[in-house]
């Protein structure tokens, strides 16, 4: 990009490689602080409409104008990665930020979690966000702004409660899990039965039946669980929960 020489991008990349960093190419763009704030708050160029993003934007803008906070960069990991730097920062600031961004790029390329997410989403993340926005807008047209906002409020209040180890597209619990069977516990029980004296004592008159529980084990992925198993939810409400989860 034009102006790369102001923060010594090429020199920073050579220095990073000399220290053993291994990263995908990074495209840098120097933008106004107002644009940086928008990117930092909304996360992506296209997002589903919700009042909370506007509140976050105003909060961040006021914090910046009062000197209580300062956004140095926003980075999107990928191949290539994308980094936005503020044109209000000094060349020295942006040189330091460039080195910091290359550290981000090394981490995102070599981290197993980032690698798995990139395989599932890759360059489609903006398209996915745009698709979510269209789904929310269609729901607003059919069910009204107030009803959709109530569902979005509930879903966004739980947006941190996901399981990062699960795939984006996740199937419902299997019949084996629903029946409450635990292969590990069953293996332990068989081994215990072979111990001396394991069969001594009174036997229960009636063997207990395994109880069916949902979820069959502690569940971190609350947005997915509610979308899949909550009673009395309409399909469009479940769709919103899954969109927020993704």
Residue 154: CA atoms inside 13 Å, Cβ hemisphere, count?
16
Query: What is the per-residue pLDDT for 129?
Result: 81
In a domain, 186, yes or no: no
In a domain, 159, yes or no: yes
| Predicted TM-score (pTM) of this structure | 0.67
Query: What is the per-residue pLDDT for 53?
Result: 82
Of 77, 47, 169, residue with least CA distance to 120? 169
Same domain, 9 and 114: yes
Measured distance between the N- and C-terminal CA atoms of the chain, rounded to whole angstroms = 32
Residues spanned by the domain of 32 = 4-120
Query: What is the per-residue pLDDT for 19?
Result: 95
Count of the separate structural domains present in the chain: 2
Give the residues of the chain that fall short of pLDDT 70.
1-6, 45, 122-123, 175-212
The single-letter DSSP state of residue 92 is: H
Is 29 exposed, middle or buried, given 0-12, 13-18 or 19+ CB atoms closer than 10 A? middle
Same domain, 54 and 160: no
Beta-strand runs (E) in 61-183 = 73-76, 81-86
Tokens 């081994």 — which residue?
A: 191
Query: What is the per-residue pLDDT for 2?
Result: 47
In a domain, 203, yes or no: no
pLDDT digits (tens, 9 = 90+) for 151-196: 999 999 998 998 888 888 888 888 546 555 555 555 555 555 666 6
């Amino acid at each position: 990009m034009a102006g790369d020489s102001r923060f010594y991008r090429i020199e920073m990349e050579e220095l990073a490689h000399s220290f053993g960093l291994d990263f995908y190419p990074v495209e840098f763009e120097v933008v106004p602080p107002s644009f940086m704030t928008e990117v930092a708050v909304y996360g992506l160029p296209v997002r589903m409409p919700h009042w909370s993003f506007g509140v976050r934007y105003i909060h961040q803008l006021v914090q910046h104008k009062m000197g209580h906070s300062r956004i140095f960069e926003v980075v999107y990991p990928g191949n290539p990665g994308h980094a936005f730097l503020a044109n209000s920062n000094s060349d020295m600031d942006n040189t330091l930020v460039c080195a910091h961004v290359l550290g981000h790029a090394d981490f995102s390329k070599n981290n197993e979690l980032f690698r798995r997410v990139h395989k599932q989403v890759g360059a489609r993340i903006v398209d996915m966000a745009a698709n979510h926005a269209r789904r929310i807008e269609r729901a607003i047209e059919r069910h009204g702004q107030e009803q959709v906002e109530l569902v979005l409020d509930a879903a966004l209040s739980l947006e941190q409660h996901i399981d990062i180890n699960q795939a984006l597209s996740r199937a419902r619990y299997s019949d084996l899990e629903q029946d409450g069977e635990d292969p590990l516990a069953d293996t332990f029980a068989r081994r215990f039965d072979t111990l001396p004296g394991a069969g001594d004592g009174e036997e229960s008159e009636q063997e207990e039946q395994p109880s069916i529980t949902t979820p069959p084990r502690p569940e971190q992925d609350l947005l997915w669980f509610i979308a899949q198993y909550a009673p009395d939810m309409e399909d469009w409400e479940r769709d919103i929960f899954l969109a927020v989860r993704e």
